[in-house]
A and B are shown apart, each in its own frame.
Chain A
């Protein structure tokens, strides 16, 4: 890596700079969806509204997702020390926690659907499902990247000195977590407190 870093004008690896740039764009993507949700938070067209949220359940799945950021850091740390075996272990742990979170989201969506909230019912329902659904899609893509990192480190395509690859996926993963912190607070917690 050393050679590459010195080669760039800003001293930052191209790929890292690109990932930061891309994540800047992603913030506006979620920002627009969150704005639409806030606009429609009471527009329920007679159907269920924010009272349908199960805060304890979502808190647990949120906790799992947040903890996956810790294992992601540990994975990168292991890779930075050239320890691919432990890196793979933490990568699997991260992907596993992501999968638990996604499973929670599928369960949550199913429950809401059974309780009478579906996407075509009201602007509130549309904006809730599409916002959290796109976040779920981001988690899914993250899991796909983690698993491919895992597989490629086995085949030798990802080498012990290439921790920038783990770091890049880490940047994306942390972003997805941070966005969830915002979504959990704005979409679930604040309206719930306001309603109570």
Chain B
């Protein structure tokens, strides 16, 4: 913030222009960059799904060759999971966690920038495979030994996902430390917004799931590139090991994708119902329980593999069991709305859409837990329908609700409610039209990951597939409405004011868009839903009545402009260092020691550039002279 004008700045300090974005360490800017990058990847993943649905619109069609079809459905899965849903959640984590806990930034701002750039270059690396000999073609699960077969392009998969894993792991460490260690005074665990709780659980899941897939991917990579024998049945290797490792990551991954959306919805429903969240403690506990049990259900993805009846029974039980905390959450959301003064704004509509669509997906999920049923529907479109109901109807609906809800926070403007409602209803219609019929075609026996819809499955299945393809057309139109609404509102949206939704949590306590340092004065928290309690008191019957004297002392906070706020400096090193992942990755895929060496060297240079980089304000361990005047909470490490 306060680089003195006489001395040469020690660190880049641009506030506008390209360099200010490349070098930013501001969690809000990084959040915005995450958001726009996911939009680009969402468009790519959506275009891929359009190709798939075009191919399957009619039986025996050959718009795409089988090889291209395999690449397209693999990239669609990888894109939506690793390049859209996870980073979109990370966009919300970045933007909201520090604001919601009353901090000025995350614990490690440069590491935060590092996470973003690794994600971006990892995504570019994966997509460059289309130009460099073909994209991964062995599905997002990358089962070995198919994935290590010579006709597969899974080298890009093994290394690309590894790179994205580094991004998630660094972000997980960062957010865990931020949430545990940087809460405003009085922000105890049980006063944290539910979104922050779900972020904490999600990041612990990432912390413990990422290393497991890292191991699976390393093994796959050694098999694919260096001739190791981990999953080669010829020498006694066990393909089931890959499945275990993958799903030991893969099932927690499901909760990594859904929990942030659950957190978002748990914030929006109370605001739009003008009631506190029903059973806060139960919702938090259920989220944590999902996190724990989520590590004990992975083999239900493998009921048709050779894992034996004991394992099948045990995992069937644990899978049914995990529906309990999920059910608790659904009932809590419903009871939050019960008797509330509901306002059907766009974020509220998407939240209700989330609860209902996710419930459908959850129920079809419970049917997978029943082993004989599972054997019947394994690898059919029924499974495709199920996981799109939880990831699209669930996670994506929740995240879109969050976009509408926090748009005024980020921009100071409102998105158009009219277009928002048009978006919601077409989105809901297109979604159900696309994925509803898949339940039926799957139960009728249509296999997934099959390039050509076999004619002998009959005309009923053909009709369902045509409906699904029509649904994609509706969804495309709906997405364009959303995109127009978003871009138009950024430029010409109505002013939102400070508190457009009558919100409850700390992020609405400061300006919209927030200043670089978030809060002029770090708030002291005395209640759960702190902001609400600053606005309203209760009368004798428990009904909320407005506190007349305005929100609070630090609402628009221009007080004490001389206060010294220590903000992290910009740094270009995370960006520079992350470029190294490109030569590093290509060196591994094409077994080119020069490229690989260049990547490693670049990384080491970046690492030293990073650690010797001076701090504009002096070293973080120096006790400054004015230490007693400084705000002590919310200080960040460099």
Q: CB distance B211 to A123 under 8 Å?
A: no
**B364 at the A interface (CB under 8 A):** no
Pick the contact of A21: B207, B619, B627, B637 (CB < 8 A).
Answer: B207
Nearest chain A residue, comparing its CB with the CB of B207: A25
With A and B bound together, what is the CA distance between A162 and B619 in angstroms? 10
Residues from chain B with Cβ under 8 Å of A148 in the complex: 608, 611
Given A39-B241, A130-B218, CB of A17 within 8 Å of CB of B180: yes
Q: CB distance A14 to B181 under 8 Å?
A: yes
With A and B bound together, what is the CA distance between A6 and B627 in angstroms? 12
**B173 at the A interface (CB under 8 A):** yes
Say which one of B231-239, B437-445, B472-480 lies at the interface with A.
Answer: B231-239
With A and B bound together, what is the CA distance between A1 and B622 in angstroms? 8
Q: CB distance B177 to A3 under 8 Å?
A: no
With A and B bound together, what is the CA distance between A152 and B608 in angstroms? 10
Q: CB distance A29 to B215 under 8 Å?
A: yes
Given A22-B173, A162-B621, CB of A122 within 8 Å of CB of B236: yes
Q: How large is the interface on A (under 10, 10 to 19, 20 to 34, 35 or more residues)?
A: 35 or more
**B174 at the A interface (CB under 8 A):** yes
**B57 at the A interface (CB under 8 A):** no
Q: CB distance A8 to B182 under 8 Å?
A: yes
**A125 at the B interface (CB under 8 A):** yes
Best-buried of A14, A152, A157, A159 by chain B (most CB within 10 Å): A14
Given A125-B229, A152-B612, CB of A39 within 8 Å of CB of B633: no
With A and B bound together, what is the CA distance between A137 and B604 in angstroms? 14
**B635 at the A interface (CB under 8 A):** yes
Residues from chain B with Cβ under 8 Å of A13 in the complex: 637
Which residues of B (591-621) have their CB < 8 Å from a CB of A?
Answer: 604, 608, 611-612, 619-621
Which residues of A (39-76) have their CB < 8 Å from a CB of B?
Answer: 39-40, 43-45
Chain A contact residues: over half helix, strand or loop, or mixed? helix
Q: CB distance B169 to A36 under 8 Å?
A: no
**B450 at the A interface (CB under 8 A):** no
Q: CB distance A43 to B237 under 8 Å?
A: yes
Say which one of B73-81, B220-228, B398-406, B553-561 lies at the interface with A.
Answer: B220-228
User: Nearest chain B CB to A19's CB is how many angstroms away?
Assistant: 9
**A119 at the B interface (CB under 8 A):** yes
Q: CB distance B238 to A14 under 8 Å?
A: no
Q: CB distance A157 to B612 under 8 Å?
A: yes
User: Nearest chain A CB to B602's CB is how many angstroms away?
Assistant: 15
Q: CB distance B108 to A18 under 8 Å?
A: yes
**B578 at the A interface (CB under 8 A):** no
**A196 at the B interface (CB under 8 A):** no
Best-buried of B216, B219, B228 by chain A (most CB within 10 Å): B228
Q: How many residues of B contact A (CB 8 A)?
A: 54
**B214 at the A interface (CB under 8 A):** yes
Q: CB distance A33 to B635 under 8 Å?
A: no
**B230 at the A interface (CB under 8 A):** yes
User: Nearest chain A CB to B542's CB is how many angstroms away?
Assistant: 32
Q: CB distance B621 to A45 under 8 Å?
A: no
Q: CB distance A159 to B237 under 8 Å?
A: no
User: Nearest chain A CB to B569's CB is how many angstroms away?
Assistant: 16
User: Nearest chain A CB to B571's CB is how many angstroms away?
Assistant: 16
Given A43-B236, A45-B235, A123-B235, CB of A21 within 8 Å of CB of B229: no
Q: CB distance B174 to A18 under 8 Å?
A: yes
With A and B bound together, what is the CA distance between A129 and B363 in angstroms? 45
Which residues of A (114-165) have their CB < 8 Å from a CB of B?
Answer: 119-123, 125-127, 130, 134, 144, 148, 152, 155, 157, 159, 161-162, 164
Name 11 extra pairs, CB < 8 A, besides A40-B230, A123-B230, A130-B219. Answer: A8-B181, A9-B181, A14-B636, A18-B177, A21-B176, A22-B169, A39-B238, A119-B226, A123-B235, A123-B237, A157-B611
Report B's interface with A, CB cutoff 8 A.
107-108, 169, 172-174, 176-177, 180-183, 187, 207-208, 210-212, 214-216, 218-219, 222-223, 226-230, 232, 235-238, 241, 245, 248, 604, 608, 611-612, 619-623, 627, 632-637
A-B contact pairs, 18 of them (CB 8 A): A3-B627, A9-B633, A14-B182, A22-B173, A25-B208, A32-B216, A32-B245, A36-B245, A39-B241, A43-B235, A120-B228, A123-B229, A123-B235, A130-B230, A157-B611, A157-B612, A162-B619, A162-B621
Closest 9 CB pairs of A and B: A29-B211, A32-B215, A126-B228, A43-B236, A45-B235, A120-B227, A28-B211, A8-B181, A123-B237
